[in-house]
A and B are shown apart, each in its own frame.
Chain A
């Protein structure tokens, strides 16, 4: 099967009756790219994957590879077994009545490849996933990690032109997950073809991807590199999902720029805040924020718990009453409340011990206050 340069999903929509599971889904995947669909349960990421694989029909829009239309929501539809894509399921879906060898050989045997070719390619796949010696075992005799590898070998042995991975690491324990994560990336590199990965785990997405697609209730919230998504979330949802646990309403009093630096003065929760940033990298968010400033509308500031420090400082000092403090070893996880009732979360290294109901002073690094427009949606 011909390899493709681009997989294009244009205005794709999918619904079950009145329920829109996927809406206005636009995505391009280049050959060799590792793209992750990231979002909470129910955001439609697995549905999107199923549509790409052909296991589900779309209702609107178009899915195509280069010029070949795979699904146009109507009559044109290429069935899943003819798309040349590989898929790895969360529960591995290994055939319980077949040995490891036969599981891996399955795709080759259904396309009637000659026996010696099958043997050669299966053995190669087994070596690639480090399962030598397990060929004659049955899935029930393998550990979770081993089953995972069989699932991988089974899907890549036909050298699919696109690899789809549906939360493949969710069933593994943490340690194994981190190990397997690395191996998955290696396999992607070896295949030299595109991979589309689905997960709800932020750190997995950041570690593995070339491009992350953040989704919420069927709609794409942001597409960007890990860095772009982590440092410059497009809206409140993405910010919250990527760990900016403090999202507060704020009003801009002034915006000044000098020597390649932008400075935004804000008022939030009764405190004065200064956000400083290097202009060049902030392009995306700029216009909306500046417009909001002009119209006197509210914006949001997004701050990570780790970026809040204990004690007072020259700028961005605030006071709050501690509600909960958890001892984590080197740091404390502190939840505190401002006078106006808004909550804040900080991870600080206090100079003395803190307890409930203490009034504590915090400060925030001016370069770590991220200003985003208020889309008025709850995260």
Chain B
């Protein structure tokens, strides 16, 4: 590896296209969005958009709806992922096959899975048929086009991602740490709570951040499996509507920015919480 710190001609030339491309097409839109949110239709700088947002009950409600959907899904995802990654920490049979099936929904995409869910979880779908046969329900209803449908779809999409991240972390914890804890008298439960989980924390936080951002930006699921105009009117949908149906780009951008701010606040909060509870090195043990 060359030890030069500056940018050689080669480095510059090679990085140039990617950097410029992403700056223009990825970074700039954010700046543009901030700019849009702070201007009105004529181009004058103003806070009117933000004021309008925070004084509008319907819009404020979308924050609640979006949180109501994204937080439980994320928390459930993480709890299950931690538990299962812990179980898989020393590898299991057919790990590759299981990973393939878990990643399948992500590979196929939200639209296909959601579309399939409409039939499968619908009034005449197999799930309902089974529940009726087993006597759990009297009348078949649709399990989707509501809060529950959106949550299920989101879970299917986000859980595998968190699991894969956490498996990386659990398998990275040296087995001798668990052995040492056992020999020092700790039960399996004590070993998990005092040793394994603290060492998994960095992974838990990363998985939480990724899962939450993904869940909070829910859009397609809310439309296909929810009631986007009422029950499941999430922030992303609201932003979309304002841009594509009302052509109010400024207000739409405002919603986007507020979404980002809320996500940063929540993630920041969770990270701060971690720092207060767990101090110290997060290295995973010598050897």
Residues of A within 8 A of B (CB): 53, 55, 79-81, 85-87, 89-99, 106-107, 110-111, 138-140, 147, 154-155, 158
- Interface CB pairs A-B, < 8 A, 5: A86-B183, A93-B287, A98-B280, A99-B280, A154-B184
Q: Are A111 and B185 in contact (CB under 8 A)?
A: yes
CA distance A140 to B281 in the complex (A): 7
Closest A residue to B173 by beta carbon equals A96
Cβ–Cβ < 8 Å partners of B195 in chain A: 95
CA distance A55 to B175 in the complex (A): 11
The 7 closest A-B pairs by CB, nearest first: A91-B287, A107-B184, A93-B180, A93-B176, A110-B186, A87-B183, A96-B283
CA distance A293 to B280 in the complex (A): 69
Residue of B179, B198, B284 touching A89 (CB-CB under 8 A): B179
CA distance A14 to B124 in the complex (A): 57
For chain B, the count of residues having a C-beta within 8 Å of the partner chain is 26
Bits for B157-195, please: 1 = Cβ < 8 Å to A, else 0.
Answer: 000000000000000001011011111111100100011
Q: Are B184 and A97 in contact (CB under 8 A)?
A: no
Cβ–Cβ < 8 Å partners of B32 in chain A: none
CA distance A200 to B177 in the complex (A): 23
**Extra inter-chain contacts (18) besides given A55-B183, A107-B185, A158-B185, CB under 8 Å:** A55-B179, A79-B182, A80-B182, A81-B184, A81-B186, A89-B176, A89-B180, A91-B176, A93-B174, A93-B286, A94-B180, A95-B181, A96-B280, A96-B284, A106-B181, A110-B194, A139-B286, A140-B283
Interface centre among A91, A96, A98, A106 (most CB of B within 10 A): A96
Cβ–Cβ < 8 Å partners of B190 in chain A: 110
Q: Are B187 and A81 in contact (CB under 8 A)?
A: yes
Q: Are B176 and A138 in contact (CB under 8 A)?
A: no
CA distance A92 to B185 in the complex (A): 17
Q: Are A138 and B185 in contact (CB under 8 A)?
A: no
* B255 proximal to A (CB < 8 A): no
> What's the minimum C-beta distance from B137 to chain A, rounded to whole angstroms?
45
CA distance A272 to B287 in the complex (A): 53
Cβ–Cβ < 8 Å partners of B287 in chain A: 89-93
Cβ–Cβ < 8 Å partners of A99 in chain B: 280
Residue of A86, A138, A154, A158 touching B281 (CB-CB under 8 A): A138
> What's the minimum C-beta distance from A158 to chain B, rounded to whole angstroms?
7
Cβ–Cβ < 8 Å partners of B282 in chain A: 96-97
Cβ–Cβ < 8 Å partners of B148 in chain A: none
> What's the minimum C-beta distance from A50 to chain B, rounded to whole angstroms?
9
Residues of B within 8 A of A (CB): 174, 176-177, 179-187, 190, 194-195, 198-199, 278, 280-287
Cβ–Cβ < 8 Å partners of A87 in chain B: 179-180, 183
CA distance A97 to B279 in the complex (A): 7
> What's the minimum C-beta distance from A121 to chain B, rounded to whole angstroms?
13
CA distance A277 to B57 in the complex (A): 104
Cβ–Cβ < 8 Å partners of B176 in chain A: 89, 91, 93
Cβ–Cβ < 8 Å partners of A86 in chain B: 183-184
> What's the minimum C-beta distance from A119 to chain B, rounded to whole angstroms?
18
> What's the minimum C-beta distance from A123 to chain B, rounded to whole angstroms?
18
CA distance A140 to B285 in the complex (A): 9
Cβ–Cβ < 8 Å partners of A79 in chain B: 182
Answer whether A85 and B183 are a contact pair too, CB < 8 Å, given A91-B286, A94-B286, A140-B283. Answer: yes
Cβ–Cβ < 8 Å partners of A138 in chain B: 280-281
Q: Are A155 and B184 in contact (CB under 8 A)?
A: yes
Residue of A92, A98, A106, A139 touching B186 (CB-CB under 8 A): A106
Cβ–Cβ < 8 Å partners of A139 in chain B: 281, 286
CA distance A138 to B281 in the complex (A): 7
Q: Are B184 and A158 in contact (CB under 8 A)?
A: yes
CA distance A284 to B192 in the complex (A): 52
CA distance A55 to B182 in the complex (A): 9
Answer whether A96 and B182 are a contact pair too, CB < 8 Å, given A91-B287, A110-B190. Answer: no
Answer whether A106 and B184 are a contact pair too, CB < 8 Å, given A93-B177, A97-B198. Answer: yes
CA distance A91 to B284 in the complex (A): 12
Q: Are B174 and A91 in contact (CB under 8 A)?
A: yes
Closest A residue to B175 by beta carbon equals A93
Q: Are A97 and B278 in contact (CB under 8 A)?
A: yes
Cβ–Cβ < 8 Å partners of A92 in chain B: 286-287
> What's the minimum C-beta distance from B182 to chain A, rounded to whole angstroms?
5
CA distance A80 to B176 in the complex (A): 14
Q: Are A97 and B286 in contact (CB under 8 A)?
A: no
Cβ–Cβ < 8 Å partners of A85 in chain B: 183
CA distance A138 to B184 in the complex (A): 19
Closest B residue to A144 by beta carbon equals B286
Cβ–Cβ < 8 Å partners of A106 in chain B: 181, 184, 186, 194
> What's the minimum C-beta distance from B274 to chain A, rounded to whole angstroms?
12
Q: Are B187 and A94 in contact (CB under 8 A)?
A: no
Cβ–Cβ < 8 Å partners of B286 in chain A: 91-94, 139, 147
Interface centre among B182, B185, B186, B287 (most CB of A within 10 A): B185
> What's the minimum C-beta distance from A340 to chain B, rounded to whole angstroms?
48
CA distance A94 to B187 in the complex (A): 18
Q: Are A81 and B183 in contact (CB under 8 A)?
A: yes
Cβ–Cβ < 8 Å partners of A147 in chain B: 286
> What's the minimum C-beta distance from A124 to chain B, rounded to whole angstroms?
17
CA distance A97 to B187 in the complex (A): 19
Interface centre among A81, A87, A91 (most CB of B within 10 A): A81
Closest B residue to A109 by beta carbon equals B194
Cβ–Cβ < 8 Å partners of B185 in chain A: 81, 107, 110-111, 158
Cβ–Cβ < 8 Å partners of A98 in chain B: 280
Cβ–Cβ < 8 Å partners of A53 in chain B: 183
CA distance A252 to B45 in the complex (A): 109
> What's the minimum C-beta distance from B193 to chain A, rounded to whole angstroms?
10
> What's the minimum C-beta distance from B244 to chain A, rounded to whole angstroms?
49
Residue of A55, A80, A97 touching B280 (CB-CB under 8 A): A97
CA distance A92 to B184 in the complex (A): 13
CA distance A106 to B195 in the complex (A): 10
> What's the minimum C-beta distance from B177 to chain A, rounded to whole angstroms?
5
> What's the minimum C-beta distance from A26 to chain B, rounded to whole angstroms?
24
> What's the minimum C-beta distance from B119 to chain A, rounded to whole angstroms?
48
> What's the minimum C-beta distance from A130 to chain B, rounded to whole angstroms?
21
